[in-house]
Structure 1
């Protein structure tokens, strides 16, 4: 097999520079090139890269914030021009372990019908960590155990950050959907890949720190993921848009809608700005039914 040429595509928006620097320094020995695509941050990310971060090979600043899918696609296009065989998608707040990419590559080589491989990600703000990998059984998503570190699961979907994708798969499945703006972009691509009879792998031994959502909500002695009202708008709207696709299994749409209802209902009851959460949820539902896309 040809030697892999992995290009990391890191999307930034108003980044925390110390955290981003740690990510880039950890990524540098693992990949052949690093591309930052900045979604029109108010801070000068490209100037920071030029002055302080020799680890970055290219920094693309977009003139306006067009969303996560648009930024990922611009990075993928640049990686393709540079001869990449694989792209590693990364959010700005993810920090991989030193051997994450090698373990993802090994998993991709383990079978021919794979669209992408993703790591076991842990949110350091959560006191209890659960396996991030799920699979749909009946009408419920069940977590897949990673007690055996060497386990590789076929999973329902992968989050974008840490996802290693062969360029040949992107030619077959297509690029990221840009008009979703944010949320469900990775889920939509995952389901599209599965509709093309390809598998997604969750690699238990490949590890990454990753923060999901905002600061967790403490409730009855436990902490739960929290999102802003604006993010709930996109989650509801894009979920509705996704459920309307003919290639999305109805069983999957039912299970996903119930899961999303529980999560947003919890935030409307136990979170801050409850009325704003409710209003943005209803707005997202209305716009999803009307087929509205793009930014809020």
Structure 2
């Protein structure tokens, strides 16, 4: 089963990107790098990697970059696509464990959307969980043992393995979202068409979330990923855009909306520059309510 890894790059750390490419090759994957770095801002020449390099000519967004790589992978006849971020590093056996889990799930009669590893955030040293709507509540589901396959509503894009036939059936990522909620939208769309994503507890990966995490002043243990004000614009706008979709469950909208409200308060009060975060999140809400999509342009 041939696998093509699609790695999205944006101002990449060349040493880390080379390490990732070598890692994926060692696991048997063909590698395509889709570069979102604007040409005029690139400070280093294209690195010598054993990978096909596709330049977007600028920042086209994560969804568009994924779709460019997916299209190239499918055109080359690959049976699977493995989506990867430049700041992820899979364990040496991650791909083999994902493929084995997928085959076991298919043999059990599951309609598999994607399989994905458990990732560890190296700065927080915590393992990820998976998200599943149960009744009227969104639950965080943690792995109980290594052999478990956790049913999820969606999985994060980095590290997720998708069959070519599933991509043809469910469709590509949604370009108009640009960045953020792209993996959530695809997972929920797949779920509405009878496909389920799964977390593979035996598969592992290192993955950084955002910038340095922040926490509440009275709690040193609980930390939250922090992104730029611009990224928070997309986060809030795209959440509102998804709430308009009829294939997104009503209970999911209410639960995610409540969490979004809490995030608005936290990032407005706890993450400098507070006013910039507040303004960009508010603009994202306004544009989401208006149904505005695509890249944010200067007005």
Tell me whether the two structures share a fold, i.e. TM-score over 0.5: yes
Q: Which residue of 2 aligns with 1:68?
A: 62
Distance 1:295 1:144 in 2: 33
Q: TM-score, with normalisation over the residues of structure 2?
A: 0.92
The structural deviation recorded for 1:150 is 1.2
TM-score, normalised to structure 1's length? Answer: 0.93
CA distance in 2, matches of 1:25, 1:203: 23
| Contact 2:36 2:61 survives alignment (8 Å) | yes
Matches within 5 A, 1:101-250: 101-112=95-106, 113-127=111-125, 129-219=126-216, 220=218, 221-222=220-221, 223-250=223-250
Mark the runs of 5 or more structure 2 residues left unpaired by the alignment. none
Whole-Å separation in 2 of the counterparts to 1:61 and 1:295: 18
| Offset at residue 49 of structure 1 (A) | 2.9
**Corresponding residue SS for 2:176:** coil
Find the aligned partners of 1:126 and 1:264 in 2 and give their Cα distance. Answer: 22
Query: Per the alignment, in what secondary structure is the counterpart of residue 64 of structure 1?
Result: coil
Q: CA deviation at 1:130?
A: 4.3
Q: Within 1, Cα distance between the matches of 2:72 and 2:201? A: 30
Alpha-carbon contact 1:38-1:59 (below 8 Å) kept = yes
Alpha-carbon shift at residue 65 of structure 1 (Å): 1.4
Aligned-residue offset at 1:145 = 2.3
Q: Is 2:71 aligned against 1:35?
A: no
TM superposition shift of 1:86: 0.3
Answer yes or no: is 1:261 the counterpart of 2:225.
no
Deviating beyond 6 angstroms after TM superposition, the runs of 4 or more aligned structure 1 residues are: none
Deviates more, 1:65-74 or 1:20-29: 20-29
Per-residue displacement from partner, 1:6-60 (whole Å, max 9, x unpaired)? 0000000001112222211211111331000001343267x4333xx2x32x100
Question: Where does the alignment leave 5 or more consecutive residues of structure 1 unmatched?
Answer: none
Distance in 2, Cα, partners of 1:110 & 1:198: 15
Post-superposition shift, 1:147? 3.2
CA distance in structure 2 between the partners assigned to 1:232 and 1:44 by the alignment = 27
Say which SS state the counterpart of residue 110 (structure 1) adopts: helix
